[in-house]
Structures are given as C-alpha cells and as structure tokens.
Amino acid sequence: MADTPIIALVGNPNCGKTTLFNALTGLRQKTGNFPGVTVDRKAGLTRLDKNTDATVVDLPGTYSLYPKSLDEQVVLDVLANPSSNDYPDVVVVVADASNLKRNLLLFSQVADLGFHTILALNMVDVAEAHGLTLDPELLSSRLGVPVVLINAKSAEGLDNLKFTIKGELLEHAERPKPTMQFESVSKDFLEEVKEKFGVNNSYLAMLMAGQAEKLRFLTTENRSQLQAINQRHSFQHTDFQAKETVDRYALLGKIADAAVRKKDGELKETFTTRLDKILLHPVWGYAVFFGILFLIFQSIFSLAEYPMDWIDTGMASLNEWVKSVLPDSMLTSLLTDGLLAGIGGVVVFIPQIAFLFVFISLLEESGYMARVMVLMDKLMRSVGLNGRSVVPLISSVACAVPAIMGTRTIQSWKDRLITIMVTPLMSCSARLPIFTIMIGLVVPDRTILGVFNLQGFALMALYLLGFVSALLSAWVMKKILKVKERSFFIMEMPVFQLPRLDHVALSVYNAVKAFVLEAGKVIVAISIVLWVLASYGPGDSFEKAEEKVRTENPTLPEQELNNAVSAAQLEASYAGRFGHWIEPVIRPLGYDWKIGIALLTSFAAREVFVGTMSTIYSLGGDDDTNTVKDKMRTEINPETGEPRFTPAVAFSLLIFYVFAMMCISTLATTYRETKSWFYPAVQFAYMTGIAYVAAWLTYQALK
C-alpha cells in the first residue's frame, strides 16, 4: 500500500458520488485528465484520522464494468490495471438507497474483482420518503462487505464511513468473497488467461478476455493473445456478458428484496414524483422551462445593472486618477488607454457572468437540469439527433469547450461528430458581454407588461436563436452524413433537493475566475499589441495627419481639435491602415474599420471584442466619455453624421456573433476530440459563412 492510500469512489450516474467526493475532500480537489485520455479526473485529500490521510479519486459514473463510452471505459481501465496510478486500495461503491437493486449490479462486479469494498448507501432519506426501510446489517451479511448509511449532502455518516475505510486499510482486513460462481466458463480457459497475464482473479481474467479491445493498458500483442485463447476455448464474451447480467440480477434481486422492505406495502408518491408530473409534461414542462429561462435573462439585466455601473464607474475613475498622477508620457498612455481600457471593458461584465452561473448552478444542484435534458431529448429526436447530445448542448450555455468534451458519452461516431460540430452555435457566456453591450446601445431599457424588461426579451431571443440554429444545423448534417441508426437517451432522475450554497458559490467562483484569468491573459496581450499598432504609424504619417486636421479646422476649440487629431492619427496608424485594408469585406455588413479591428482580435476569444472597442475608442475618441458603452454610443459615422452604432449595425453585429465561430480554444478542442484539422476547418468555415450571410441580411433589412 502506498504512503497515501487511494480510495476510489464508484457508482451509477446521479447516485450522489460527486457530492460525497466534495464532502470528503472539503472541495479541496485537483482536476486534470486520466492518463492517455481527456476524461476529467478529480482527486483530493481526505483525513481519515489524525495520522492518516488518503487520496480520494472520483471515477466517472457507470452502470456496469461493460463500458459503452469513453468515460465508462476509464472506470474499467483503472480497476482492471494494478499498474495504474489510480489503482485503489479501497473502493467505495456509492449506491442510491431508493433504487438499490439496480445499483447492486456494479457493486457486485467491483467486489468480484477482489477489492476491499464498502457499500455506501446514499439518499436514505429519499428511500424513507418512498416508504422503504433498509436493513444494513442483513445486507452486509449477505454481501460480505461493510455497509454504511450516509447522506452525502448533509455529510451525515461520513465519520462512520471514514472509520470503515480505515478498517479496510488494515493488513488483516478480509477481502469480499466472490458473489458469483461462473460454472459455465471453462476452468482451463480461465487458468490459461490467468497464467499468461499473471492475474489471480477469475473475474478479472474474464473481463480481460471479453473487454480486451477496451482496455488501453493491453498491447496489440496482448489483444492478439487473448483473441487466440478465446477462439481456442470457444469463449463468446457477449453470451457470457448476457448470462452474467441475468444471473447477477437474479441473485442480487433476492438480497435486495430481503434487505429493503416497504413500510405500508405500497410505494408512496413523493414530492419529486408529483413535481415531475408537471415538469416533464409535454406542454407544461416546456412552459415551465421557458418561464425559468425568461426569468433568468430578465434577472441578468435587472439584477446585474447596479454592480455593473459601479464597476464601470470605478474603472473610469481609476483610469482618470492614473492619468492625473502620472506624467503625460507614452507609458501612461499604454497603461491607461491600453491596459486599463481593455481590462475595464471586460471586468464590467463579471456581475452578469456571475448571475448566469448562479442560476445554472441552482438548476443543476436542485436536480431540475436533469429534467431539462429529458424534456429536450424529445426535441432532439425530432431532428434526428442523439438524445445524449442534450447534455453537451445544454452545457455549452456556460462554455463550449467542456461541452464538446462531454460528447464522449455518445456511442455513435457520426452522432458525436454532429454534436461537436453544432455545439458552438449555442450561445456561451463569452458572448454575453457582446450581447449585453449591443442590446444596451440600441434596445430601450423599457419595462413592458408592468415588470418585464425589453432588453431581457432581446437577450433571451438571441440565446433561443442559437439553440434553434444548432438543431437545424444538426438536421442538415444528419441528412448529409446519411445517419440512419437510432439510439436512446437513458437518464436516472435525481430527487429534488435544496441546493448547497457552498457548491453554488464554488461554481460561480470558478466560472468568474476562469473568465477573468483566461480572458484577461488574452486581453492584456492583445491590448498591448493593439496599443502599439494604434499609437504608431509608418514614417511621418502621424505628423501629416495632425497637420492636415489643424489646417482644415483652424477655428475648432482646443479640446475638439485635440480629439480630431487623435482620431486622425488613429486612422493613420498601423491598426487603422489594417482596418481600412479589410474594410471592403465588412462594409456590406455595416461595419467600419474600427469594428473590423475588433472582429479580428476577437478571433482569439469573443469577449476580447468589447475590450478592443474600449481600447480603440480610448485612443481616438472623445475624452469626456469614460465608460465603454458611452464611448460607443457617442461614436459618430463621419459619412452620415449619425451615430455609428445604429440599430442596423448593432443587430448585424449581434447576429454575426450568434453564429460566428470565434474561439480558438473551441477549435483546438474540436481538433483534440476528432484527431483531425479537417473538422475544425469545416466548423470554422460553415459557422463564419452563416454568420456573414445572416449579418448581411440583417443589416440590409434594417438600414
């Protein structure tokens, strides 16, 4: 046993395993990937007693050791490979006490691998609410392992669980006896596999023989050897798997029936069951869902308005203060007009990002998000998409990168590919700053029907537009790829529960931190480059620009003259010349060269658009306006003498960013998941093409 023992948490999806992991590790966890794959690995330390720490590894949820997806494959890879760095000293199988019979299948498979195994019965309160009583002593004696009652959410039973884990780590602790005897399997076959690969566990030998193609630690030669042994002994792993599953359920069903009794003879209808009749109703379910969406987007505008104003004003004051205390120099200009302007244009959106993730976390923690996925599954199947695509699409409202990684649960390669290709069409949180600032410029902050905000309506419409376009694109790709097979989405409904505020707070903190730090790095780098490009020009272009302005406007007041000189020098700079160079391409969309610069810089990350606009207008705009929104609102189109951001231009930009693939991280993730640059290239081309055409149609219709 290693100095720090490893405790693996295993269980069915939605059994409360991750909640237990958070409770054991106190949210002190390290995230990464399992070796060789990009499946998330979460590990953290827990203190079993004052002298013993243990590493807790949260393995992906699975229903059995016969994997159907990459996530489930990781569980088998870890438990079947003693050389794995995550190979556990003790396995805690977390089971939903209200649905024990089905949860016992995975438990019995893990126990038959010979691990020190503990069965942790979670959600006992839910089982009691269903009118069930549990007999843990009887269950323990029949299964031959310790059984511990816990409530992962309230941390009840955790001390007992730690005490039991400590007991299993003692050298004299007994390992469980096999729950199944595989008499139909040839002993010669088992002995040959065990001898050839140096294993002493019969069930592990059978898993290696039957699942060789899914065990990544086996070499090609190992797989060939196992195939030869299978043929020699006529071992049919699919027949074995089917018989094993039936036999296990027959045995475990009797044990579960003996250990779980109904109080009143009949199951009670719980609060969750009654609520699900509404939330999963084919009409009321959608009505409630869209009602919740509506309230979320209304709140993002109304609740976040005050902290946003404080941050915006604070950044403007800071900028002015720095200018007042530092000497007038190029370094001061870099600091104020470059860095502070760019950063200020992004941090102002922290309240909206935080509110968005508060609502997402509350929906996830309460169990409602699982209902949304089931509800949306019906809609997905109507366009021929795999029901498992619901999870990545819903997740991409936060960020497309983990959402694309979440497609690994989809078995069909074509279905998975289509989901990867359309997921970025869902509006992620990085689009939120662009949406809100453009909506704020052209949509009146008006209350309708007494309580609803018109800007909130516009924001919700943009999110729905992204969702509908994702479904339509999936339908078209389905036809192109000629996908005919059907698959089904199976999901266990978690019970409704009050969200844990510390989990919500951690989720919001991580989201805001990622937004500020990851976007901040790019923004700082781009702001510096942009400031240099906008502050210098070829030869004596700056002097000529100033001379021309002063000659043509001899009567202008000094302040207006200085602003005109700044604008002319920006236009003569390297950035201005580059903007003019691409202007013919974007002019049909209603954009000028300044917007063009922001479009190009935002290819790194969408949120950079706002920071770039803030920097550009700080260098060449009116000094009397400080906030990024004011700078954009006061920008004048020199050709028309009217505001630059008319409704036609603003809505054209909004529509462009609904469809545009402008995120290098997402493209890199698509490459990593598809192992080919062809698919990111297609993704970029088709999304940019749709964005350009849609933005052009919008501008032409509204101008």
Residue 18 among known ligand-binding residues: yes
Distance of alpha carbon 181 from its chain centroid, rounded? 43
- Per residue in 657-668, is it b (16+ CB within 10 Å) or e — as a string? bbbbbbbebbbe
Residue 500 is given by DSSP the state P
Whether the CB-CB separation of 81 and 215 falls below 8 Å is answered with yes
Q: Report whether 111 contacts 255 (CB < 8 A).
A: no
Is 646 within any annotated ligand binding site? no
Residue 438 marked in a binding site:
no
Q: Residue 251: which of 104, 355, 395 has the closest Cα?
A: 104
Torsion angle in degrees (nearest 10) through CA of 460, 461, 465, 471: 60
Q: Across the chain, which distance is largest between two alpha carbons, in Å?
A: 104
- What DSSP state is assigned to residue 335? I
Dig out the tokens for 640 from the structure. 């028309």
31 is in an annotated binding site: no
25 assigned binding-site residue: yes
Q: What is the identity of the amino acid at 664?
A: I
Tell whether 272 is in a known binding site. Answer: no
Residue 15 assigned ligand-binding role: yes
> Is 61 among the annotated ligand-binding positions?
yes
185 annotated as a binding-site residue: no
Sign of CA dihedral 249, 252, 255, 258: negative
Distance CA 575, CA 595 (A): 11
| Amino acid at position 248, single letter | R
Q: Binding residue per annotation — 428?
A: no
- AA letter at 137: E
User: 38 among the known binding-site residues?
Assistant: yes
Instruction: Check the annotation: does 99 bind a ligand.
Output: no
Q: Count other C-beta atoms under 10 Å from residue 482's C-beta.
A: 7
CA distances from residue 665 to 371, 395, 397, 662, 694 in whole angstroms, order as listed: 30, 16, 15, 9, 24
Q: Which residues contact 642 (CB under 8 A, 6 or more apart)?
A: 636
Asked whether residue 12 is marked as a ligand-binding residue, the answer is yes
Annotated ligand binding at 22? The verdict is yes
**Stretch (H or E) spanning 2:** none
For residue 470, what are its two tokens?
């994702």
Tell whether 537 is in a known binding site: no
Q: What share of the chain is helix, strand, coil (3-state, %, to 5)?
A: 65, 10, 30
**Residue 551 annotated as binding site:** no
- Spatial distance between the Cα atoms of 387 and 379, rounded to a whole number of angstroms: 9
Q: Is 222 annotated as a binding residue?
A: no
The answer to the question of whether 36 is labelled as a binding residue is yes
Nearest CA-CA partner of 201 in 142, 115, 86, 72: 115
Contact criterion met (CB below 8 Å) for 255 and 103: no
11 annotated ligand binder? yes
Q: Is 37 annotated as a binding residue?
A: yes
Residues pairing with 58 in the sheet: 9, 42
The answer to whether 94 is annotated as binding is no
CA atoms of 587 and 584, how far apart (whole Å): 5
Q: Phi and psi for 25 in degrees, rounded to 5?
A: -95, -5
Determine whether the annotation assigns residue 670 to a binding site.
Answer: no
Please indicate if the annotation marks 188 as binding a ligand.
no
For residue 473, how far is the Cα from the chain centroid? Answer: 21
Q: Residue ranges for the binding site for GTP? A: 11-18, 36-40, 58-61, 122-125
| Residue set of the binding site for Mg(2+) | 22-23, 25-26
User: Binding site membership: which residues?
Assistant: 11-18, 22-23, 25-26, 36-40, 58-61, 122-125
